[in-house]
Amino acid sequence: MNKSFLKFLTDFGPLVIFFYYYYDSGKDLKIAIPPFIIATIIALAIVWFLEKKIPKVPLLSGILITFFGGLTLSFEDEFFIKIKPTLLSGLFALVILAAQMLGKQPMKVLLGKQISLTTKGWKYLALVWVSMFIVTAIANEIAWRTLSTDAWVSFKAFGLTG
């Protein structure tokens, strides 16, 4: 199987499964979250099997999906799954900003093999990403507090992912 197709499948497959169960169940998060968690764990296992490692971002995302999805199901409260994007974006912004303040270049570590920039360029790119994560966190906060669950699900999938 084509490796890039498999990467695409492991990145977006769990989301497709979530949508299928969400809309098939009449838009019930309690029905859609368990298959989403299982698909995410399977996707991470496939990545591990193929690469013998799991990149940090998908691993953290998988942990948070499992944790907040579990809280949502346990407490029967959509709040938990809805704040996950805010917390994840906020965490990424803080990590990049803290690394920058400590004199590290986190973006160079992540993207240094794909692109070549000056030290100033790496710092600028890091600040752009911090800004993007902050805007994403704020947008999610506004969305989940003002939109219906159905509208928030669409926003999360198509607005934040884009």
Provide the 10 A C-beta neighbour count for residue 80.
19
Closest CA relative to residue 37, chosen from 71, 4, 76: 71
d(CA 126, CA 1): 35
Q: Determine contact, residues 134/104, Cβ cutoff 8 Å.
A: no
Q: Determine contact, residues 25/32, Cβ cutoff 8 Å.
A: yes
Closest CA relative to residue 3, chosen from 36, 46, 45, 54: 46
Q: In tens digits, what is the pLDDT along the chain, a chain of 162 residues? A: 677 888 888 989 999 999 999 999 999 999 999 999 999 999 999 999 988 999 888 898 899 999 999 999 999 999 999 999 999 999 999 999 999 999 999 888 888 888 999 989 999 999 999 999 999 999 999 999 999 999 999 998 888 876
